[in-house]
Amino acid sequence: MNLSVVIPVYNSERTIGPLVERLQACLASRSFEIVLVNDGSSDRSESVCYQLEDTYTNVRFISLRRNFGEFSAVLCGLNHTSGEYVVIIDDDFQNPPEAILTLIETAEQGNYDVVYSRYAQKQHHWFRNLGSWLVNKLTTYSIGKPGDLYLSSFKLIQRDVVDEIIRYQGPYPYIDGLIFRVTRNVGSVTVPHSARAEGRSNYTVRKLVALFLNVFIGYSLWPVRVFTVFGAFLLGLSFLAGLILLIGWLGNQFVIAGQTLIIWAIATGLGIQMLFLGVMGEYLGKLFMAYSGLPAYVEKKVRNEAGTKADKGFSYSVIYPLLPFFLSSFLPLL
């Protein structure tokens, strides 16, 4: 299987059928599959997807019992793919299906693990654009993405990276955060962006806040480290101020007022507390990351001189140097 297309479906009974038909036409030259994941839609999306699965042999359909969110639906879809490349595309026709070929071409030419789409002119609502801008600014610091890279939902992921992403077993997946835990070999390409074909965006204030908190807390330790650094700075500043006050008092240069001592004591105590909370948070954060389901490292494919994939299993070459020993030991017995 050369290509898998994952589509999270939510209240798109009118658009998902035409989208699948258009994918069948524009990807006819490739071996591909389409994985539809119904994320607890309240309309007829489920029955439409069942009909599409019955109509096309390369369409697979999974229906979730309730609405878990877009990233959970995408993660479910990734677990049911088998293609060398996996493309994630929304169900609203804002991303033309023909642009999938552009993503594949960019990945093959640049040998990228992941290719994100970027838009010359976005057709989203201003509120969604604002939310996307805030999340992109946050992810620049939290997951270490390049500042000029736009994390769009329309992207291509190579098979090796997908296999690592689906090892995540937590309840709050953030696909882009998982991608940047695995690889930094990421490219982008400009593709068209169309107005929404049907309905309205499901991007709400509640979902924006939930995404913001998930990225802020779930995929980086830097919020905890901010408290640690600030606590250490405040404690060091308080220690220096106390040293200056003590030297001045011993040298009879000035009299320490009670109000000054109170301020110094409060600052010192606050610095100790923040430093202690930061250290405790660091321990908890390490445990959280350890149980997030992702490995400490990810290997790339290893190839031998002939250009074929090297076998990482048992190798008989280990036995060859020992053959003289075995022959000299057992031949006299025979």
311 in a structural domain: no
106 in a structural domain: yes
Q: For the chain, how many structural domains are there in total?
A: 2
User: Do residue 198 and residue 237 come from a single domain?
Assistant: no
Burial class (CB in 10 A: 0-12, 13-18, 19+), 229: middle
- Which of 19-23, 129-133, 263-267 is the least confident region? 129-133
Whether the per-residue pLDDT at 316 is higher than 60: the answer is: no
| 324-330 average pLDDT score | 45
Whether the per-residue pLDDT at 196 is higher than 80: the answer is: no
User: Do residue 207 and residue 252 come from a single domain?
Assistant: no
Dihedral in degrees, nearest 10, Cα atoms 79, 81, 87, 92:
-80
Give the pTM: 0.69
In angstroms, the CA 294 to CA 178 distance is 8
User: Do residue 229 and residue 206 come from a single domain?
Assistant: no
Query: Could you tell me the residue range of the domain that residue 185 belongs to?
Result: 3-218
The confidence score (pLDDT) of residue 232 equals: 83
| 162-183 average pLDDT score | 87
- SS3 state of residue 333: coil
pLDDT per residue as tens digits for the range 226-258: 778 888 888 888 888 888 877 777 777 666 667
In angstroms, the CA 94 to CA 198 distance is 10
User: Do residue 207 and residue 233 come from a single domain?
Assistant: no
Whether the per-residue pLDDT at 3 is higher than 90: the answer is: yes
User: Do residue 203 and residue 226 come from a single domain?
Assistant: no
User: Do residue 194 and residue 235 come from a single domain?
Assistant: no
Whether the per-residue pLDDT at 292 is higher than 70: the answer is: no
- SS3 state of residue 296: coil
In angstroms, the CA 329 to CA 115 distance is 59
The confidence score (pLDDT) of residue 59 equals: 96
Residue 166, C-beta contacts closer than 8 angstroms, at least 6 positions apart: 75, 78, 79
296 in a structural domain: no
